[in-house]
């Protein structure tokens, strides 16, 4: 259906006369008549009855009017859904419980007028492809992996270095420690059933395990965070990694412990990735909010994979 003709029909109804509708639309009265005649031909019914005194809506015209208005409203909503500054900013946060979701919540508190559409994509390749295609506006990711670089049209900047802590049950050998070094984990088992091969987080933890001599086990099905907490609470040999920013709730009887890691502190390097030619104004506001709060990585005292340091040269 020709929406220009529909818009002309509604304008004629609202104006009361074809001549006034023509003035509102900046066209001639003859053009108004022609557009409405085309619409009537498409619908195979007369919408106006023409008399010497002007034109009046027919019964069919009265029936069509609310749907005509709905069509024009739908057109406006459709255009607004993709219009920069009008549509929601779509951002991938990997998971709604992870720390970067908190970064996005902080941005929303600072900019409550900005509409956000929060999505959770699975891995680096999926997220980068979505940014490139315009399906999403930005993603929080470890900026690169061994042998991979961002496409030329994408940009990235570090926004958060997430300190890791050891997470154990009450019977684990490190349960009562105030802090430990990563070197003390040599020979121990770290259970991470969500460490899927080929993901950026699996590459990070594999590198961390190789650097400090412990074993990352991803065996067994991943039944979610509740099952992970139950297993860690009941084990004297298994531990896992968490962030102090990750919101976790468990039964009081689990008596789970978070032990800080120092000398060095492993940090997971989150970056914001976006397409350089994306004009959405809220994307600029998000970048400025995140980068202004990022203190920068200390020259010593933290650990990240060497390939992460190399990846930062492309941002």
Please determine, for residue 172, whether its predicted confidence score (pLDDT) is greater than 50: yes
Please determine, for residue 92, whether its predicted confidence score (pLDDT) is greater than 50: yes
Residue of higher predicted confidence among 96 and 302: 302
Tell me the pairing of strands 215-217 and 154-168.
unpaired
Give the model's pLDDT for residue 84. Answer: 59
Model confidence pLDDT, tens digit, residues 245-287:
776 777 778 899 999 999 999 999 999 999 999 989 899 999 9
Give the model's pLDDT for residue 7. Answer: 93
Average pLDDT, the chain: 88
Asked if the peptide bond before residue 264 counts as cis, ω within 30 degrees of 0, the response is yes
Percent of the chain at pLDDT exceeding 90: 58
Give the model's pLDDT for residue 95. Answer: 76
Percent of the chain at pLDDT exceeding 70: 93
Pick the CATH number of 3-82 from 1.10.10.10, 1.10.10.520, 3.90.1150.10, 1.10.3720.10: 1.10.10.10
Give the model's pLDDT for residue 294. Answer: 92
Give the model's pLDDT for residue 315. Answer: 42
Give the pLDDT band (50/70/90) at residue 76. confident
Task: State the fold for domain 89-314.
Answer: D-Maltodextrin-Binding Protein; domain 2 (3.40.190)
* Domain segments of the chain as ranges: 3-82, 89-314
Measured between alpha carbons, how far is 266 from 169 in angstroms, rounded to an integer? 21
Please determine, for residue 170, whether its predicted confidence score (pLDDT) is greater than 60: yes
């Amino acid at each position: 259906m020709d929406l220009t003709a529909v818009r002309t029909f509604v304008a004629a109804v609202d104006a009361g006369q074809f001549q006034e509708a023509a003035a509102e639309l900046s066209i001639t009265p003859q053009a108004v008549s022609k557009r409405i005649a085309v619409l009537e031909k498409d619908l195979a019914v007369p919408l106006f009855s023409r008399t010497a005194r002007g034109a009046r809506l027919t019964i069919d015209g009265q029936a069509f009017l609310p749907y005509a208005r709905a069509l024009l409203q739908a057109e406006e909503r459709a255009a607004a859904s993709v219009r920069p500054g009008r549509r929601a900013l779509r951002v991938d946060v990997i998971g709604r419980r992870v720390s970067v979701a908190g970064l996005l919540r902080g941005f929303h508190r600072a900019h409550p007028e900005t509409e956000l559409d929060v999505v959770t994509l699975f891995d680096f390749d999926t997220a980068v492809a979505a940014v490139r295609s315009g399906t999403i506006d930005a993603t929080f990711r470890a900026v690169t992996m061994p042998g991979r670089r961002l496409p030329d049209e994408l940009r990235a900047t570090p926004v958060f270095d997430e300190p890791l802590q050891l997470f154990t049950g009450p019977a684990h050998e490190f349960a009562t420690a105030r802090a430990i070094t990563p070197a003390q984990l040599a020979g121990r088992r770290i259970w991470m059933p969500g460490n899927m091969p080929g993901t950026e987080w699996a590459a990070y933890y594999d590198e961390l395990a190789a650097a400090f001599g412990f074993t990352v086990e991803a065996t067994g099905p991943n039944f979610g965070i509740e099952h992970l907490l139950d297993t860690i609470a009941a084990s004297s040999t298994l531990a896992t990694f968490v962030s102090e920013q990750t919101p976790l709730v468990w039964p009081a009887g689990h008596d789970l412990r978070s032990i800080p890691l120092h000398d060095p502190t492993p940090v997971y390097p989150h970056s914001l990735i976006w397409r350089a030619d994306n004009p959405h104004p809220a994307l600029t506001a998000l970048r400025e909010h995140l980068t202004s709060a990022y203190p920068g990585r200390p020259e010593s005292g933290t650990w990240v994979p060497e390939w992460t340091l190399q990846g930062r040269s492309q941002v």
